[in-house]
């Protein structure tokens, strides 16, 4: 049996932000393998997120972030179940990090449903014109556009974007990790991003 040292627990805690006992359990479960233990914690967060899905997140914070000397500003509403969690340093930091991500990655909506039909149609039109320009056959256009739109949603929807502070994780992963830590339902409800001259 692998001996789990305090240093290993500390390292996993710093990596994942999970509690000491959760980190120790993950390392024991995964025979001291740091990568597997990280995945174990991520899956645990996902399981907690699924359990909490039916709950109502009616508390939370509106977090602001101003970047580049006032050239970019973000307001984001992040909800949780209790005022107690909303006031914790971990939740506040999570909200600030999400606001910073929005400033940097410029998503168009939280999820695909938030992107207007007008924007979607415009993108499809551009992709169609590009495909024709490249001489792609007419009967292949729908398939090409579908593939391009899938990539567009991945890049444009906040929940699908790779997290700017750790591109190996999506915002959904980061959110699920936070749900795992707090044990509460947390949702990123909406945001507004302002940029001078746009």
Task: Quote the strand ranges of the chain, DSSP E.
Answer: 59-67, 72-80, 162-163, 166-170, 187-195
**DSSP three-state, residue 170:** strand
47: pLDDT confidence band, cut at 50, 70 and 90? low
- DSSP structure class, residue 178: H
Residues with Cβ within 8 Å of residue 173, at least 6 apart in sequence: 42, 163
**Whether 143 and 162 share a structural domain:** no
Is 183 domain-assigned?
Answer: yes
**Could you give the CA distance from residue 77 to residue 62 in angstroms, rounded to a whole number?**
4
Q: What is the pLDDT of residue 161?
A: 95
User: Is there a domain that residue 1 lies in?
Assistant: no
Rounded CA-CA distance 121/128 in Å is: 10
Counting the structural domains of the chain, the total is 3
Residues 170 and 103 both lie in one domain: yes
* Residues 127, 31 share a domain: no
Residue 10 within any structural domain of the chain: yes
Query: What does the buried/exposed string (b/e) look like for 177-186 if buried means 16 or more CB atoms within 10 Å of the residue's CB?
Result: bbbbbbebbb
Coarse DSSP helix, strand, coil percentages of the chain, rounded to the nearest 5 percent: 60, 20, 20
Print the domain residue range for 37.
Answer: 6-52
Q: What is the CATH number of the domain that holds 37?
A: 1.10.8.10
> Among the listed ranges 38-47, 86-95, 98-107, which one has the minimum average pLDDT value?
38-47
Q: What is the pLDDT of residues 106-150, one digit of tens each?
A: 999 999 889 999 999 999 999 989 888 888 888 888 888 899 999
Asked if 43 and 126 sit in the same domain, the reply is no
Torsion of CA 186, 188, 190, 194, to 10 degrees: 140
Statement to judge: residues 163 and 70 lie in one domain = yes
């Amino acid at each position: 049996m692998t001996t789990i040292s305090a240093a290993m627990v500390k390292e996993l805690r710093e990596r994942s932000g999970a509690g000491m006992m959760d980190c120790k359990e993950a390392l024991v479960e995964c025979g001291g393998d740091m990568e597997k233990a990280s995945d174990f914690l991520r899956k645990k967060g996902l399981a907690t997120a699924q359990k909490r899905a039916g709950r109502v997140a009616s508390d939370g914070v509106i977090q602001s972030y101003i970047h580049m000397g006032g050239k970019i500003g973000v307001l984001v509403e992040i909800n949780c179940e209790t005022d107690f969690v909303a006031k914790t340093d971990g939740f506040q930091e999570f909200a600030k990090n999400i606001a910073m991500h929005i400033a940097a990655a410029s998503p168009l909506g939280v999820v695909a449903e938030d992107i207007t039909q007008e924007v979607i149609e415009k993108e499809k039109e551009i992709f169609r014109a590009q495909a024709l320009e490249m001489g792609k056959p007419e009967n292949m256009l729908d398939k090409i556009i579908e593939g391009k739109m899938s990539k567009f949603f991945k890049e444009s929807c906040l929940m699908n974007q790779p997290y700017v502070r750790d591109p190996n994780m999506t915002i959904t992963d980061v959110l699920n990790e936070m749900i795992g830590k707090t044990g509460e339902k947390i949702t990123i409800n909406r945001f507004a991003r302002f940029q001078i001259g746009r």
